[in-house]
Amino acid sequence: MTVLIIAEHDNQHLATATRHAVTAGSKLGEVHVLVAGSGAAEVAEQAKQVAGVAKVLLADAEHYAGGLAEELAPLVVKLAADYRYVAAAASTFGKNLMPRVAALLDCPQVSDLTEIVNGKTFVRPIYAGNAFATVSSDAETLVLTFRTTAFAEAAASGGQAEVVQVEATPAQGLSRFISRELVKSDRPELTQARVVVSGGRALGSVEQFNELLLPLADKLGAAIGASRAAVDADYAPNDYQVGQTGKVVAPELYIAIGISGAIQHTAGMQDSKVIVAINKDPEAAIFNIADYGLVADLFEAVPELTAALGN
Amino acid sequence: MKALVAVKRVVDYNVKVRVKADGSDVDIGNVKMSMNPFDEIAMEEAVRLKEAGKISEIVVVSLGVKQCEETLRTALAMGGDRAIHVQTDDYLEPLAVAKLLRKIADREQPQLILLGKQAIDDDANQTAQMLAALLNAPQGTFASKVELGENEVTVVREVDGGLETVALKLPAVVSADLRLNEPRYVKLPNIMQAKKKPLEKLAVEELGVDITPKLQQQKVAEPKPRSGGVKVQSVAELVAKLKNEAKVI
């Protein structure tokens, strides 16, 4: 029973999400990692050192450079014949690629799974995390995507996998990668952070969002998140969004500031270890899931909190 | 140029669903149903492209129970030209939906196929990608901007670190993210007009697709409840609790 995990990378660095997927995959069998890219030998080197990886397949071709699903899917499908499970982290990369693979293999996909019950039974959230479905399948091949926050990351070193070159599949030419604009930040990555400070619409403007949240996040070494309302109002960039349609986080400490707590938001953070809510509305739904709630005007409470942490 | 838009009838996004007492499924017996929010955005985008003169006809399709007709009428009221309803009471997995949509696409030959990026009930986020695979068409998933040209569509995609731009040969499949647009409100005269627009009914058998589920749902459970929290009176008390009780700072 071997598992093929599709590595996510930028041709230089293996994404942390893939190490979470390795942990999940190890629960199913021997883990092989496919690194498909252009000039991605360095990524294969990193992948072979990940604890729990038995083999790294490296496919190097120019048309794999942009990580386009149209180019990668035929390669994964060709290799899938030797595997019971084909899997990836449920990041935007995995979500984009894996269903294309599943359809070409004519096999079912279990998306964003949070628990492996046994080799054919899995648990996954539905209805924005308001329910968890246990699903099973007798299919010969299964395509899986793993929710990264549900599985710890495998150690980046300690593994001694062999690297095997595999032949690239022909270029499909259906799509072209044009550009990628990444939001630059010195902060920890949102899905990996130990502490997340998240702001909602109540912050009122992008200036206030930054003025209030940045110093607090700096004090805590935290990543910054946002509710959909804050993103839609342009207080924060899209990829800060936490929730059903944004990112799922499960930090040690999640501080929700001026966030009402709609189910679409809580779907993305309700597995946090400790949740703090600061909101002036005592009836806000966020207080139902917060471990510590402070009913207060955030414009006073947040600077006070930032100052208090300085001592 | 013809566009095909697929819309799904789901539990309204404001409804907090409950799991049935026997744990067999969620209880959606008497709850409000609406068009999946992402599909509304896909529909709005098609209508805007038509208003911009880039698309000549919008065909909307929905698959499922009889009441999907209401969802289709809503799409027609938004600006769809005609509708196709593949009626079935059976549960449809994303792969089955993709196979059925492929048959419709083979028949209609649209240049652009628009869907929502995910349905807010099963949260699968699979159908658009699967449909693109079956059509051997390129895919522009999680689109926040769509520019339709003669032979190509340029799509700005929302990815984990920011935004990514890809160019896709037509015909192409695009799945809508939240920020693609703000769907319009449907006005009463449009609802009246929509009642007269053609709505074709098809049976799954006519399309010759095997829709047998490949996944079996064993049970559905409530999420683990969070233990009730406490309200603190001041910032000082909050900091003290986080330091001494929760030990997270």
B123 Ramachandran zone, left/alpha/beta (phi>0; psi -120 to 50)? left
Interface contact B242-A253, CB threshold 8 A: yes
| pLDDT, tens digit (0-9, with 9 covering 90-100), for A124-137 | 999 999 999 999 99
Q: What is the pTM of this model?
A: 0.95
Contact residues, B window 54-113, toward A, CB-based 8 Å cutoff: 93-95, 98
Give this complex's ipTM: 0.96
pLDDT tens digit string along A61-102?
999 999 999 999 999 999 999 999 999 999 999 999 999 999
Contact A25, A97 (CB under 8 A): no
> What does each C-alpha distance from A281 to A204, A231, A232, B239 come to in angstroms?
15, 21, 21, 20
For residue A184, is pLDDT > 90?
no
Taking CB atoms and an 8 Å limit, are A174 and B169 in contact across chains? Answer: yes
From chain A, the residues in CB contact with B136 under 8 A are 174
Residue B149 Cα, gap to closest chain A Cα (Å):
14
* pLDDT higher than 80, residue A208: yes
pLDDT score recorded for residue A15? 96
Helix, strand, or coil (residue B97): helix
pLDDT of residue B119: 98
Burial A230-245 (b: 16+ CB within 10 A, else e): bbbbebbebbbbbbbb
Rg (C-alpha) for chain A, rounded Å, is 21
A-chain residue closest to B162, CA distance:
A182
Question: Is the alpha carbon torsion for B84, B127, A36, A42 positive or negative?
Answer: positive
b or e along A9-32 (b: 16 or more beta carbons within 10 Å of the residue's beta carbon)? bebeebbbbbbbbbbbbbebeebb
| Contact yes or no for B164 and A70 at CB 8 A | no
> What's the whole-number average pLDDT of chain A?
96
Give percent above pLDDT 70 in chain B: 100
